[in-house]
Amino acid sequence: MVVKIEHDRDTCISCGACVNLCPDNWEMADDGKSRCKNASPADLGCNQEAADACPVQCIKVVTE
Ligand code: SF4
């Protein structure tokens, strides 16, 4: 399975939910918005939880 993570940073409201739920692959960047550490992770990990928790749905997890 190939995992791709798309993050629309323009929409991110800096709530921190993704970082709290999935610190393995999400961190807060210097501009106050979150940042995906690896957009093509080897497995899904906690990224779906991060996407599901995002209040503005700006994280998309695509699996192929
Ligand atoms: S959960 Fe969504 S809005 Fe909140 S910091 Fe993460 S990407 Fe941004």
Q: Which residue has the higher pLDDT, 17 or 1?
A: 17
User: What's the whole-number mean pLDDT along residues 43-58?
Assistant: 98
Residue nearest to atom 7 of ligand 1 (CA): 12
**pTM, to two decimals:** 0.95
- What confidence tens digit (pLDDT) does each residue in 3-42 have? 999 999 999 999 999 999 999 999 999 999 999 999 999 9
Whether 1 has a pLDDT exceeding 90, the answer reads no
- Best mutation site among 11, 30, 34, 57 for ligand 1, i.e. most ligand atoms within 8 A of its Cβ? 34
- For the domain bounded by 3-63, which CATH number is listed? 3.30.70.20
- CA angle in degrees (0–180, nearest 5) for 58-16-48: 50
Report CA 64 to chain centroid distance, whole Å. Answer: 17
pLDDT of residue 50: 98
Residue nearest to atom 8 of ligand 1 (CA): 12
Other CB atoms closer than 10 Å to residue 31's CB: what's the count?
Answer: 10
> For the chain, what are the domain ranges?
3-63
